[in-house]
Each structure stands twice: as structure tokens, then as C-alpha cells.
Amino acid sequence: MHESPAFNPQIYAQRRQRLAQSLQPGSVALIPTAPERIRNRDCHYPYRPDSYFYYLTGFTEPNAWLALDAQGHSLLFCQPKDIEREIWDGYRLGPEAAPARLGVDEAASIDQLGARLSALLENRSAVYYPFATHEGLAARVEQWLEAVRARARYGASVPTAQHDVCALLDEMRLVKDAHETATIARACRISAAAHVRAMQRSAQLLAAGEDAREYHLEAELLHVFRQHGAQFPAYSSIVAAGPNACVLHYRAGDAPLRSGELVLIDAGCELDGYASDITRTFPADGRFTGPQRDLYDLVLASQSAALAATAPGARFTAPHDAAVRTLTQGMLDLGLLDANQVGTLDDAIENRAYFPFYMHRTGHWMGMDVHDCGSYNEEGGEPGEAGESERRDPLSGEVIRNRPSRILRPGMVLTIEPGIYVRPASGVPEVFHHIGIRIEDDALITDSGHTLLTREVPVAASEIEALMRA
């Protein structure tokens, strides 16, 4: 299913040039990768590079930095070749091979970082680096600037401004290029296959009378992810049986799968640095009960309404508003909300009467990070629009500043994930108690609308039942 394409340094060189063109003339940008993290004692967590650094270099080794100036000259700092350490920790590219392999202009040993950066910052107009993302980074930059200031008697000048490079990179990363959308699509196909396998395994275990637990299905997901080349789960997999589905960020545990109950799986793999994100809810034994089907069809209808509003030129909030309207009407129809208490549909929406059953938004950006970077409002790229206002939240009482939300454009990728979560409460019909349902797909905005990347796993209730019977 997956074969990683050959590494293409030109992709990353083009991104570096785009960033360089956005820098203030005479400035320099510094981007470190992520540090290695100790899990316990002398064992590390599996290593993953920083997303911003990887986006600009494609380099996956730890202990590395990128320096880029406004003229587009790139300098990579990386670990030097060390035969003894490579015996223990694995192959290192090394600064000698890095320019040819990665397409950077120059490379140096990480041991030279302090001295080279102090010299590089001399007589620059400004320095860019990621704000509030790497512990201690601002202090290190200050140390290098102090070293520059100490050379003032020799004519050295210090950058007079510091800028958050994430503000520029977030805008770049929000609209995906062809390489990115192809990688995300491959990740989505792998994740869809994993969900299919988990659904079928649930039905098989219960039909055979075997012990069936959440972690059994999590194991199926991980098996498919790795079998097809994905390096990691994109996030901690949610496998929630029965009432656990009403916990939004529940993690797969040891709760049993039971006939007559639902299972909610929210899981996706990360492939070559890019995430996927799928949620499906299905009957553990392969057959929906009447109340389960009523709520499931409502959530699916709300997702269909949200998808109808997902198109270039629409606001980011349009899918959420469409989903909320469909969900709230369904809650009134099914008796989850009492019109005598909440009023009309518009009243219920205005006062957020739906909130006890639907408390999250309908989507988020997706890319290198499963909750990807990029502004959700006009400050991130729709300047000059009128319409900013303030309102008081009817539930919390807090003052919220309304800004026009982001306009969807081709190349953006977002999730569409409405849900409903019914906990026992006074006035809530008992037949719906402990039912949690979410349906999530990943949508790529296109010139004409959108493309769903995750529909290789079924979503209609009848198709899920047929799949599980098979």
C-alpha cells in the first residue's frame, strides 16, 4: 500500500526560498529541531523532528539547526560523523554529506553552533526564531546577541528586532503543496484500512465468544499502520467502548467490548511527517440498535450538512454552523432537548442549548501536526475585513471577540467531525444514555469544492453493518 517516494531536496529548497523572501531584508532566521526526550532512566521516547524544521529540511536526525538569511543562503548544523556513537545510536549523515543530500548551501558540525551563530548575527537587521515552542531558546538567542554586543567596539551591530518565524511558516504550511497532499492522502488510505480491520476484528471476536477489549482493537490499528510503512500513530489512539465514548479524549484501555454497545475509534497514522485523522463509531457486534441508529443517522446527517458547506470561498466556521443546526434540530426531534424549555431552533442555537451533548467544534486544520498550525480567523490572512464585534457567551458569561473566520482556499486540509455524547441526566431519555458517536473525515479543499481523503472506510450505518458481517 505504501512505498515512500525518493527524497527530493528541491521541495525543501523551494520552501526555504519562499521563507527567505518573507524575511526582513538583512535578517536571519534560526530554526532548531526537536530535542530527544528521556522516557525513563536511559531510555528515550521514539524520536520525531520538529515540524517547522522538517518542513524546511526533510532532515530527521536530532540535535540539528537551520540558519537561513534573507538572501536564501541556508546553513545546516548537524551531528558530526562518529563511528563509535553510530555503532550504538545509528547512522549519521554528517556535515560533509549534508549539502549534497539535503540541498542546503552549507553544513557545519553542531559543535560549532554557538561560535558560528554569534558571527552570523553580526550586522543583521533582525533575527527570526520560533517563539514559545522550544524551552530556553529565547535565552540562547539572547546569549548570542550578547556576544555580538561585546564586539561593538569593533564595529559590530546587534539586530534591533526579533520576530516569531512561526507566523510566517504557519501561513506557508496552511496551504499544502502537491507533495504534502499526496503524502496526506497515502496516510489516510493506511488509516482507513486500519479502521476497516478493527471493525471486522471486533465482530469476529464477539461472534467467536472470545475475550474482546479495547486494546485488542488498538493492536489491530497499530499493526496496519506499521505494516504499510507509517512511522507512528499521529496521536494517541482513542478506542472507547460503550460509555467510554462519551469521554472525548479517552485512550484505549482494557474495557470489554460488549454486544449491544457501540465502539468509537478515533485514530490515524503519521506517514513521512504527515498526519491523518479518522473517527468511526460502530456496533461492537456489527448491528445497531434502534436508539443507536437514530443518533448515528443524526450525526451522519450533520456531517453531510457540514460537508455541503465545505468549499473554497466559504468561511472556516461554515461547516460547524451547518452541523450545529442539523444536530440541534435532531436533538429537539428526538427529545434530548425540550422545546418548552429551550424555545425555537434559533433560540436553542443562540443559547447553545446543544452544548451538553455537543461541546467541541466540527473541525481543525490538519497537516504535519494532527491539529495543524494556521490561524482560524482573519488575522491570519484576511486583513482589512470589517465585522469585528464582541459578545457575551451565554454559558460562561465571558466576553468573546468575534472576528471574521478564515476563508477556505484550495490546498487547505481540515477535518469534519461532528458528534453527540449523551450522559445520564434529568430529562434525557434513558434509551440514549451512555451513547457517544463521532464521525470524522479529512477534507482537502479543491478549486471546485472538496475531496474526502478518508472514505475508504465506510460511513453509512448499513455499509458498516455489511462490512462487519463480511
Q: Any catalytic annotation for residue 44?
A: no
What is the per-residue pLDDT across 91-141, written as a single tens digit (0 to 9) for each?
999 999 999 999 999 999 999 999 999 999 999 999 999 999 999 999 999
Give me the pLDDT at residue 188, please. Answer: 98
Instruction: Return mean pLDDT, the chain.
Output: 94
Cell 560533509, located at residue: 96
Contacting residues for 420 by C-beta, under 8 A, at least 6 apart:
295, 298, 299, 327, 331, 357, 358, 435, 436, 437, 438
Sheet strands (E) in 43-170: 43-44, 65-69, 74-78, 106-109, 126-129, 161-164
Q: Which of 214, 266, 272, 372 is catalytic?
A: 266
Q: Are 388 and 402 in contact (CB under 8 A)?
A: yes
Q: Are 187 and 276 in contact (CB under 8 A)?
A: yes
Give me the pLDDT at residue 374, please. Answer: 95
Residue 395: band (very low, low, confident or very high) from pLDDT cuts 50, 70, 90:
low
Q: Which of 44, 149, 371, 391 is catalytic?
A: 371
Q: What is the DSSP letter of 408?
A: P
Half-sphere exposure of 316 (CA within 13 A, CB side): 22
Stretch 434-454: mean pLDDT: 98
Q: Which helix (H) or strand (E) holds 464?
A: helix 461-469
- Among the listed residues 174, 166, 191, the one whose alpha carbon sits nearest the alpha carbon of residue 372: 174
Contacting residues for 230 by C-beta, under 8 A, at least 6 apart:
2, 187, 190, 269, 270, 271
Give me the pLDDT at residue 421, please. Answer: 98
What is the per-residue pLDDT across 272-297, written as a single tens digit (0 to 9) for each?
999 999 999 999 999 999 999 999 99
Residue 400: band (very low, low, confident or very high) from pLDDT cuts 50, 70, 90:
low
Give me the pLDDT at residue 155, please. Answer: 84
Q: Any catalytic annotation for residue 364?
A: yes
Q: Any catalytic annotation for residue 73?
A: no
C-alpha cell at 146: 550578547
Residue 76 CA to residue 415 CA, distance in Å, equals: 34
Q: Any catalytic annotation for residue 371?
A: yes
Stretch 396-407: mean pLDDT: 77
Q: Which helix (H) or strand (E) holds 326?
A: helix 317-334
What fold, for 9-172?
Answer: Creatine Amidinohydrolase; Chain A, domain 1 (3.40.350)
What is the per-residue pLDDT across 305-340, written as a single tens digit (0 to 9) for each?
999 999 999 999 999 999 999 999 999 999 999 999
Give me the pLDDT at residue 397, please. Answer: 67
Give me the pLDDT at residue 381, please. Answer: 45
Max intra-chain CA distance, the chain: 82
Give me the pLDDT at residue 4, please. Answer: 63
Q: Any catalytic annotation for residue 421?
A: yes
Contacting residues for 34 by C-beta, under 8 A, at least 6 apart:
47, 48, 49, 50, 53, 62, 134
Residue 341 CA to residue 348 CA, distance in Å, equals: 9
Burial of 72 (0-12, 13-18, 19+ CB in 10 A): middle
Task: Tell me how far CA of residue 341 lies from CA of 324, 420, 438, in angstroms.
Answer: 18, 20, 26
Residue 355 CA to residue 349 CA, distance in Å, equals: 9
Q: Which of 417, 441, 442, 465 is catalytic?
A: 417
Residue 384: band (very low, low, confident or very high) from pLDDT cuts 50, 70, 90:
very low
C-alpha cell at 246: 462519551
Residue environment code for 155-178, b if the CB has 16+ CB neighbours within 10 A, otherwise e = ebebbeebbebbebbbbbbbbbee
What is the per-residue pLDDT across 233-260, written as a single tens digit (0 to 9) for each?
999 999 999 999 999 999 999 999 999 9
Q: Any catalytic annotation for residue 360?
A: yes
Q: Any catalytic annotation for residue 249?
A: yes
CATH 3.40.350.10 maps onto the chain at: 9-172
Stretch 54-71: mean pLDDT: 98
Rounded to two decimals, the pTM is 0.93
φ, ψ dihedrals at 168, nearest 5°: -75, -45
Q: Which of 124, 320, 325, 438 is catalytic?
A: 438
**Residue with the larger pLDDT of the pair 386 and 35:** 35
What is the per-residue pLDDT across 155-181, written as a single tens digit (0 to 9) for each?
889 999 999 999 999 999 999 999 999
C-alpha cell at 76: 545546516
C-alpha cell at 108: 557545519
Q: Which of 3, 42, 210, 447 is catalytic?
A: 42
CATH 3.90.230.10 maps onto the chain at: 175-469
φ, ψ dihedrals at 303, nearest 5°: -70, -40
Q: Which of 69, 261, 277, 372 is catalytic?
A: 277
Measured in whole angstroms, the distance separating CA 367 from the mean position of its chain's CA atoms is: 6
Give me the pLDDT at residue 99, please. Answer: 98
Residue 383: band (very low, low, confident or very high) from pLDDT cuts 50, 70, 90:
very low
Is the CATH number of domain 175-469 3.90.230.10?
yes
Q: Which of 16, 116, 216, 364 is catalytic?
A: 364
Residue 388: band (very low, low, confident or very high) from pLDDT cuts 50, 70, 90:
low
Residue 154: band (very low, low, confident or very high) from pLDDT cuts 50, 70, 90:
confident
The CA dihedral of 218, 221, 227, 230, to the nearest 10 degrees, is: -110
Q: Any catalytic annotation for residue 385?
A: no
401 pLDDT above the threshold of 90: no
DSSP states of 245-267 as a string? GGSTT----SPBP-TTSEEEEEE
Q: Which helix (H) or strand (E) holds 421?
A: strand 419-422
Q: Any catalytic annotation for residue 277?
A: yes
Q: Which of 18, 360, 361, 403 is catalytic?
A: 360
Give me the pLDDT at residue 205, please. Answer: 97
1 pLDDT above the threshold of 60: no
Q: Which of 249, 390, 392, 398 is catalytic?
A: 249
